[in-house]
Amino acid sequence: MTADYQDRPPTNPDPNAAADTAKYGYAMGTQQLAALQHRLAGTGQIHPKLSIAMQGELLNIWESLYHGTLCAVRDERTADDRWNTDDNTYSDGRPVAITIQIEDGDWQHNPYLLGDGAANEFPVSAIAHIARPPADDRDPL
């Protein structure tokens, strides 16, 4: 049985709203994964090899989050050197996340931190603010 055009889901009438929601979801999820990754590396209660292995699983989750949010809404014509800027900018021009480095990043537990994925986006030595998406008629997040 072939699907007829009436069986297809409707096209999103506001692709910017969808992209803004995806960017917000990515930032919030990534910040939470980074916090968990830092805790795994910094407790000293888990064997370092096990900690790195568990952080590897968090990296896999982060990659799925990245591909299911930012990559899914990215304009295919965006040049590679614009991804970081565009991915961190809402449709109204505001930044999604503002991260400020407050220390030099030389954290005592760095040897036990898998420095990729979420921990790279939100380092332990930084503070971050994630702005909510632009206000519109969507349901609140």
Residue 93 domain flag? yes
Q: pLDDT tens digits, residue range 54-84?
A: 999 999 999 999 999 999 998 888 899 999 9
Residue carrying the six token digits 């000293």: 44
C-alpha span between 11 and 63 (Å, rounded): 26
Mean pLDDT of 97-106: 81
pTM metric for this prediction: 0.83
The Cα 127–Cα 100 span in angstroms is 5
Helix (H), strand (E) at residue 86: helix 83-87
Model confidence over 41-60: pLDDT tens digits? 877 788 989 999 999 999 99
Is 3's pLDDT higher than 70? no
Q: Which domain holds residue 21?
A: 15-130
| Tally of domains in the chain | 1
For residue 125, give the 3-state DSSP assignment. coil
Q: Residue 126: is its pLDDT beyond 70?
A: yes
Q: Return the pLDDT at 43.
A: 74
Q: What is the pLDDT of residue 103?
A: 72
**For range 11-24, the mean pLDDT:** 89
95 lies in some domain: yes
